[in-house]
């Protein structure tokens, strides 16, 4: 986004979504409840009708009226344009939305009016969160002219500005589902979309834009370029009708399956949509079985959390691998469970076939079968310095982070193949925690620093063959209320959200939820989602986290007395066998 005012150039270019309570007076009035795409009552918010300007308004009243009109819901700009000078009304096409926590009342004269905004963050035109902006005060300066005896704005912003509370009530965090470079599974890219009658239309229109060049070799799309939504995506009796124009009309084989998979994973986020039809260039699309209606639950083999992945917990007891439920852990039947091999941490692949354990001195990795008693354990790494627990992605790659004398070194290994990945912002840094997403596209690390620890995320670049070819520069995730003694742990809570354990004092800690895009936990709510999407809470005596991107599996805080399910309404301590350590899910 860009702005026409120098002072807010950075602010408005970056901001795209926000929330705040509505004024009790002014040109914004609440009317009836909104409805969702299928005509059912809206999920969160009431409709808002924006009032047009009235004769005799002062400069400050015109600016306030314009800002209030931007909060119309369902979203519309025709009323806000009436506050603009006639020569800019038709050309004003804002892209994106400015989010702010608070604003002061407009102040100024009949020709110039200023408004101060606080606590801004930005989203791009597609609704993707692009991070918080500096917290310094920002001032937006409006210029006004007199037309037909009334004051009108001549320099409207290039982005829509809305308060955060308003935004929280009306926008949902959803995913645009692309493909990993091999085309084997879908990868969600989070965006914020308004839950109005255009919800399905906006989702599909955004998906059709593609992932963009910044995500080259990170994700791709099977949807042909040039396709656009024809008017809208209407929803009737649970069926979304996707009608596209402007691109290739020929889809077959794997490409057809992948396109339908991307649409099914994206549309299943629209409340009450159960199925969809697809028409391209006036022709109905049929799959190999002749179907023209497709379930939004199709595409299970492309699940980014790993279809068929184990939901058991794995850990160490007396240096031996254990698995099972928290209260019923037992020794694994493979070599790592039957022998004491002198190990301190362990990682298990998604399907609980292989386990990799780091030796007590942190220099070696021993790998073996989880359950096959006839297969021994082999040392696959022996020259490291100080290894963090191994991580696995869906392709069976084992990821390792070695804390060497010169900082972190990241490597991967799959069978006899291996390589080193330079990750700017992580490589060479002091790292205390390390995660890899199951889809293999995201690296997460807790980087230690002299001022404060920080959580950073990098994207993995992969060729179509599946070969790792690099990584993007790691981006820091802003954490709300981070002040404390340091970050103790980080874990997945969904494919696009993380939980971070932040030590506040010696025994007191706080769990913070944050999106992988940096969006605050309070905004990371998908349509109809339970509180699992935001498990922020304060704890005493917590020393770690156990997390999974599978939203139906519990996320735990680890206490000396046992585990606490962070998603449970009534939180009790679940006992774990004495001496169990390094407990976690697969991946």
What pLDDT score does 15 carry? 35
Give the H/E segment covering residue 422: none
CB 141 within 8 A of CB 107: no
Name which residue leads in pLDDT, 52 or 540.
Answer: 52
0.75 exceeded by the pTM? yes
In this prediction, residues 374-381 reach a mean pLDDT of 95
* Band of pLDDT at residue 478, cut at 50, 70 and 90: confident
* Band of pLDDT at residue 479, cut at 50, 70 and 90: confident
| Cα dihedral 423, 425, 427, 433 sign | negative
Whether 170 shows a pLDDT value over 60: the answer reads yes
Give the up-direction half-sphere exposure of residue 548: CA atoms within 13 A in the CB hemisphere: 24
What percentage of the chain carries pLDDT values higher than 70? 89
DSSP state of 334: S
* Band of pLDDT at residue 12, cut at 50, 70 and 90: very low
From 61-65, 132-136, 361-365, 471-475, the region with the lowest mean pLDDT: 132-136
In this prediction, residues 175-183 reach a mean pLDDT of 97
Q: Which distant-in-sequence residues (6+ apart) come within 8 Å of 323 by Cβ? A: 312, 313, 314, 315, 329, 330, 332, 337, 348, 352, 370
* Band of pLDDT at residue 23, cut at 50, 70 and 90: very low
In this prediction, residues 438-449 reach a mean pLDDT of 96
What pLDDT score does 95 carry? 86
In this prediction, residues 405-414 reach a mean pLDDT of 97
In this prediction, residues 76-83 reach a mean pLDDT of 96
pLDDT in tens, 237-288: 999 999 999 977 788 899 999 999 999 999 999 999 999 999 999 999 999 8
**Closest by alpha carbon to 513, among 539, 565, 486, 478?**
478
DSSP secondary structure letters along 241-274: EEEEESS-----HHHHHHHHHHHHHHHTTSTT--
CB 261 within 8 A of CB 270: no
Whether 1 shows a pLDDT value over 60: the answer reads no
pLDDT in tens, 284-323: 999 989 999 999 999 999 999 999 999 999 999 999 999 9
Whether 570 shows a pLDDT value over 80: the answer reads no
What pLDDT score does 133 carry? 65
What pLDDT score does 16 carry? 33
What pLDDT score does 451 carry? 78
Q: Which distant-in-sequence residues (6+ apart) come within 8 Å of 50 by Cβ? A: 27, 28, 68, 69, 70, 71, 72, 76, 79, 80
In this prediction, residues 560-585 reach a mean pLDDT of 90
From 114-118, 163-167, 379-383, 537-541, the region with the lowest mean pLDDT: 537-541
CB 132 within 8 A of CB 99: no
């Amino acid at each position: 986004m860009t702005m026409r005012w120098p002072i807010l150039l950075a602010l408005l270019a970056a901001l795209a979504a926000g929330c705040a309570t509505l004024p009790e007076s002014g040109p914004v009035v609440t009317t009836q409840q909104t409805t969702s795409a299928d005509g059912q009552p809206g999920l969160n918010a009431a409709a808002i009708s924006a009032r047009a300007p009235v004769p005799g308004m002062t400069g400050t009243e015109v600016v306030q009226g314009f800002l209030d009109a931007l909060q119309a819901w369902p979203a519309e700009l025709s009323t806000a344009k009436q506050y603009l000078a006639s020569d800019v009304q038709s050309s004003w096409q804002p892209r994106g939305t400015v989010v702010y926590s608070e604003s002061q009342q407009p102040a100024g004269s009949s020709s110039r009016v200023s408004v101060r905004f606080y606590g801004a963050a930005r989203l791009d035109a597609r609704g993707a969160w692009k991070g918080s902006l500096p917290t310094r005060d920002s001032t937006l300066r409006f210029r006004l002219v007199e037309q037909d005896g009334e004051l009108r704005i001549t320099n409207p912003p290039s982005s829509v500005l809305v308060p955060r509370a308003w935004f929280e009530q009306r926008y949902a965090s959803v995913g645009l589902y692309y493909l990993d470079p091999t085309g084997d599974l879908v990868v969600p890219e989070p965006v914020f979309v308004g839950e109005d009658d255009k919800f399905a239309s906006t989702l599909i229109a955004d998906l059709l834009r593609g992932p963009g060049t910044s995500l080259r070799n990170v994700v791709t799309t099977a949807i042909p370029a040039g396709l656009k939504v024809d008017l809208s995506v209407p929803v009737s009796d649970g069926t979304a009708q996707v009608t596209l124009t402007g691109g290739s009309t020929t889809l077959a084989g794997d490409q057809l399956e992948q396109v339908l998979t991307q649409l099914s994973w994206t549309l299943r986020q629209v409340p009450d949509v159960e199925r969809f039809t697809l028409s391209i260039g006036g022709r109905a699309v049929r799959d190999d079985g002749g179907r023209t209606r497709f379930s939004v639950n199709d595409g299970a083999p492309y699940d980014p959390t790993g279809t068929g992945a184990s939901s058991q917990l794995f850990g160490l007891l007396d240096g031996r691998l254990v698995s099972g439920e928290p209260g019923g852990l037992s020794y694994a039947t493979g070599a790592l469970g039957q022998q004491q091999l002198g190990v301190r941490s362990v990682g298990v692949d998604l399907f609980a076939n292989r386990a990799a354990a780091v030796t007590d001195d942190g220099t070696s990795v021993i790998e073996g079968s989880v359950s096959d008693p006839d297969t021994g354990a082999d040392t696959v790494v022996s020259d490291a310095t100080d290894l963090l627990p191994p991580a696995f992605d869906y392709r069976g790659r084992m990821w390792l982070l070695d804390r060497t004398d010169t900082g972190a070194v990241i490597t991967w290994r799959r069978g006899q193949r291996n390589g080193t990945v330079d990750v700017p912002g992580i490589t060479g840094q002091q790292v205390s925690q390390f995660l890899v997403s199951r889809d293999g596209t995201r690296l997460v690390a807790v980087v230690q620093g002299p001022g404060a620890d920080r959580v950073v995320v990098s994207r993995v670049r992969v060729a179509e063959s599946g070969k790792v070819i690099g990584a993007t520069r790691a981006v820091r995730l802003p954490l709300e209320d981070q002040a404390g003694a340091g970050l103790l742990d980080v874990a997945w809570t969904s494919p696009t959200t993380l939980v971070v354990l932040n030590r506040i004092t010696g025994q007191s800690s706080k769990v913070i939820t944050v999106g992988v895009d940096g969006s605050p936990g309070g905004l990371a709510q998908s349509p109809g989602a339970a509180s699992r999407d935001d498990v922020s809470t304060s704890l005493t005596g917590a020393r770690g986290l156990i997390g999974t991107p599978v939203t139906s599996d519990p996320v735990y805080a680890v206490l000396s007395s046992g585990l606490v399910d962070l998603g449970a309404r009534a939180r009790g301590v679940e006992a774990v066998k004495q001496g169990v350590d390094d407990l976690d899910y697969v991946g």
